[in-house]
Structure 1
Amino acid sequence: MDSTVVSFHEVTPEIVQITMEDRIHKNTFSKSLIDGLTQAFQRIEDHPHYKCVILTGYDSYFASGGTQTGLLSIFEGKEQFTDTNIYRMSLDCKIPVISAMQGHAIGGGFAMALFADFVIFSRESIYTTNFMKYGFTPGMGATMILPKKLGFSLAEEMLINAANYRGAELEKRGLPFPVVPRAEVMGRALELAHQIAEKPRFSLITLKEHLVRSIREELAMVTEQELLMHEKTFHRPEVKERIHDLFGK
């Protein structure tokens, strides 16, 4: 690993911890973060003994979605969110992945977290799918993975309203995932990782492949539909204005 913003740590010979730590960009999807995650997951793909991955962030940030520059490039038609697969790396990983969301998860960063096999929330952190805040429809598979993981009613509210939700509030709304104090997120993730690592690697890979096959197949169709919605919604003048005026607020 030659990344300065993504660290790769072998907790045990069977458990890997990937930490996103782009402090300059607050874990938005900068090129350095994307490159670092790509390297990390490729290293996992090439290793014959790993059984579980913990994906986490730094301090109060897990992942913050697209950069302002990246959003403006999509507005200008220079990029599409499918140009990289950062949002689905956990889904494509052949071994189980735990999203240890010790910090805020915003937009595509929240979608990315939900594509993991296990998700742990912190009570203090903010979780939001804020695409519509900027005036464009959601991407990165969010329109599929939120309903699947959170239930349709809560997902529809989060996607349309684009509001901020603390983990504690989502817990009261019946979130089907552990919600613990920020200081306990990594401890819970490590406990779970050790439990997973007790199982045979071949069986873990086989079962995950079976469980997520339909999600992987459906995602291709959903992202195509999201791109079509982007063609209709992303290139309007008010979107550019909102990206300039509201980004980071």
Structure 2
Amino acid sequence: MADNMQLHVDENNIAHLKMNDVENKNIFSNDFIRGFLETMDELEANYKPHCLILSGLDSVFCAGAEKDTLIDLSNGKIDVKDLLMSERLVNTEYPVIAAMEGHAMGGGLVLALCSDIVIAARESRYGAVFMNMGFTPGMGTTTLLQGLMGDFIANEMMFTGKRFKGSELAQKGTNINYIVPKKDVLAKALDIALQISEKNVKSVNLLKYTLSAKKKKLLVDARLQEDMMHKLSFAYPETKERINSFYAD
């Protein structure tokens, strides 16, 4: 298993995957993406879980892309590949519960969008910060964020890059399942997972297949739109300047 991931399947056949790159704060480095996908491979090859609890660090659930990757994208050296993580979560046979104790920004928030049930912390901040770095949202954000936040809050998040505290989102009435104190996030996730684990696993898998059909289509639509926007926005000279400025702050 990758050093930056921790996987455990408990006695109730509930899988717990903790993104655990402490040094880099769960940034989407090549090693992080590889570790995530390899751990998902291991989970699906060796276990048939009832459901998956996806968590991160206490301070950061997941932080999105790293600076060097974004600079390479703006220079046209590489193509976007973190959408693979989105597709992997949407295409699981079992439901995924995102337990976001810490902050989730950009692509890190998208991992929650690709989950089936989402729990956030009142103290942590969540945002689609792509435009703060000069380029348009990716990983399926443009088609998936509305489902979690509602159309108008999603639009505000994407246009402004604002990071909302969980407590703010609770007041606005989003579609997040639960927004609780940080200390209660994992316990709430486990409570929901235990309820799922009591059900017929074959029926659970069948329901997941049906409920995920819409997100699968939305990801296909997102790939067409976002790839086109990325080719344009990453080519703007201002984008590289904004990326450097963002990471210097």
Counterpart AA for 1:244: N
Say if 1:248 and 1:193 are closer, same or farther in 2 by CA, change over 3 A.
farther
Match for 1:156: what amino acid? N
Q: Tell me the distance in 2 between the aligned counterparts of 1:87 and 1:22.
A: 19
Residues 88-129 of structure 1: per-residue CA shift (max 9 Å, x gap): 322111100000000000001001111100100000101010
When structure 1 is superposed on structure 2, of 39-48 and 88-97 the one drifting more is: 39-48
Partner of 2:84: 85
Displacement after TM superposition at 1:48 (Å): 5.0
Deviation of 1:84 (Å): 5.2
Residue 16 of structure 2 aligns to a residue whose secondary structure is strand
SS in 1 for 2:158: helix
Alignment of 1:13-162 (within 5 A): 13-47=12-46, 49-82=48-81, 85-162=84-161
- List aligned pairs for 1:158-197, cutoff 5 A: 158-177=157-176, 178-197=178-197
* Paired residue secondary structure (1:100): strand
The Cα shift of 1:80 comes to 2.4
Q: Distance in 1 between matches of 2:100 and 2:83?
A: 22
Code of the residue aligned with 1:174 in structure 2: it is G
* Counterpart Cα distance in 1 of 2:99 and 2:126: 13
The Cα of 1:6 is off from its aligned counterpart by 0.4
- Please give the per-residue CA displacement for 1:140-195, whole angstroms capped at 9, x wherever unaligned: 10001111222111100101011111000011010222000000000000001100
Residues matched between the structures, number:
248
Q: Is there any run of 5+ residues in structure 1 with no aligned partner, and where? A: none
What's the CA shift for 1:73?
Answer: 1.3
Change (3 A) 1:176 1:148: closer
- Secondary structure at the residue paired with 1:105? strand
**Percent of aligned pairs with the same amino acid:** 36
1:230 Cα deviation (Å)? Answer: 1.0
Quick check: 2:51–2:196 contact (8 Å CA) kept in 1? yes
1:50 CA drift (Å): 1.1
Consecutive unaligned residues in structure 2, runs of 5 or more: none
For residues 137 and 153 of structure 2, the distance between their equivalents in structure 1, rounded to whole angstroms, comes to: 15
- The 2-side partners of 1:28 and 1:188 are apart by 25
TM-aligned CA deviation for residue 18 of structure 1: 0.4
TM-score, with structure 2 as normaliser: 0.95
Query: Using the alignment, how far apart are the partners of 2:195 and 2:157 within structure 1?
Result: 32
Does structure 1 residue 225 correspond to structure 2 residue 225? yes
TM-score (norm 1): 0.95
Q: Which residue of 2 aligns with 1:198?
A: 198
Distance 1:142 1:83 in 2: 12
Which stretch has the larger CA shift, 233-242 or 74-83?
A: 74-83
* CA deviation after TM superposition for structure 1 residue 214, in Å: 2.3
State how far apart, in whole Å, the 1-side matches of 2:231 and 2:47 are. Answer: 42
Deviation string 1:57-81 (CA, Å, 9 cap, x unpaired) is 1121100000101111111112222
In structure 1, how many angstroms separate the alpha carbons of the residues matched to 2:57 and 2:135? 28
C-alpha RMSD over aligned residues: 1.4
Divergent runs of 4+, >3 A: none
